[in-house]
């Protein structure tokens, strides 16, 4: 074991551990194991690509999603080949031999380089790390709170003095007795 592993070393250990425990997807595997290894491969690849793009400055700005024709088609469980279990730690429950991966993933989450990447792109990294953390029964990193919106007109002034109270108008039609 390396005393202070780099981010690349930890990712390499995670990928090697996945290969040893769950294995590379093979057609002769039982369907659940095949689809789980495909899902894990996709999740780790997504994380690696995100790290590479951010480090090389190739990360595109986030786009707001717009409704499209595909959104009109309802999607259900039949549209997916593998339904990821909702139970926290499902990978550990199904294949206990994956428990060393949880330790590697915990080291990866605590790594200073990953922490700085999380600070740069909190929503993307949280989105990429959450499924892996859920599968390995780890707490995912918390996304950074959103920036406060611009000061609304009714808030206290910038110098801390309270704004004057609003002037209430007299009713147009006074009550008659």
Residue 51 lies in a domain: yes
Q: Torsion angle, CA of 98/131/84/60, rounded to 10 degrees?
A: -130
Residue 48 lies in a domain: yes
Query: Which domain range does residue 97 map to?
Result: 7-60+82-135
Residue 143 lies in a domain: no
- Number of domains making up the chain: 1
Residue 65 lies in a domain: no
pLDDT in tens, 100-135: 889 999 999 999 988 888 888 888 888 889 988 998
What pTM did the predictor assign?
0.64
pLDDT in tens, 50-90: 888 888 888 777 666 666 555 555 555 544 555 777 789 98
Q: What is the pLDDT of residue 151?
A: 47
> Do the beta carbons of residue 105 and residue 136 sit within 8 Å?
yes
The answer for residues whose C-beta is within 8 angstroms of residue 120's C-beta and 6 or more apart is 54
- Of residues 93 and 60, the one with the higher pLDDT is 93
Residue 170 lies in a domain: no
């Amino acid at each position: 074991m390396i005393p202070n592993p780099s981010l690349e070393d930890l990712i390499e250990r995670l990928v090697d551990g996945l290969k040893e425990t769950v294995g590379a997807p093979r057609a002769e595997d039982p369907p659940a194991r095949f689809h789980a290894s495909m899902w894990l491969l996709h999740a780790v690849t997504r994380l690696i690509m995100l790290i590479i793009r951010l480090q090389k400055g190739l990360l595109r700005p986030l786009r707001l999603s717009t409704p499209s024709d595909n959104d009109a088609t309802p999607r259900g469980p039949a549209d997916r080949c593998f339904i990821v279990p909702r139970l926290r730690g499902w990978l550990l429950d199904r294949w206990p031999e994956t428990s060393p991966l949880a330790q590697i993933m915990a080291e990866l989450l605590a790594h200073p380089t990953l922490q700085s990447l999380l600070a740069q792109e909190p929503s993307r990294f949280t989105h990429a790390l959450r499924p892996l953390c859920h599968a390995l029964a780890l707490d995912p990193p918390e996304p950074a709170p959103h920036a406060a919106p611009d000061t609304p007109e009714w808030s206290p002034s910038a110098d801390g003095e309270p704004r004057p109270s609003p002037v209430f108008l007299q009713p147009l039609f006074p009550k008659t007795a």
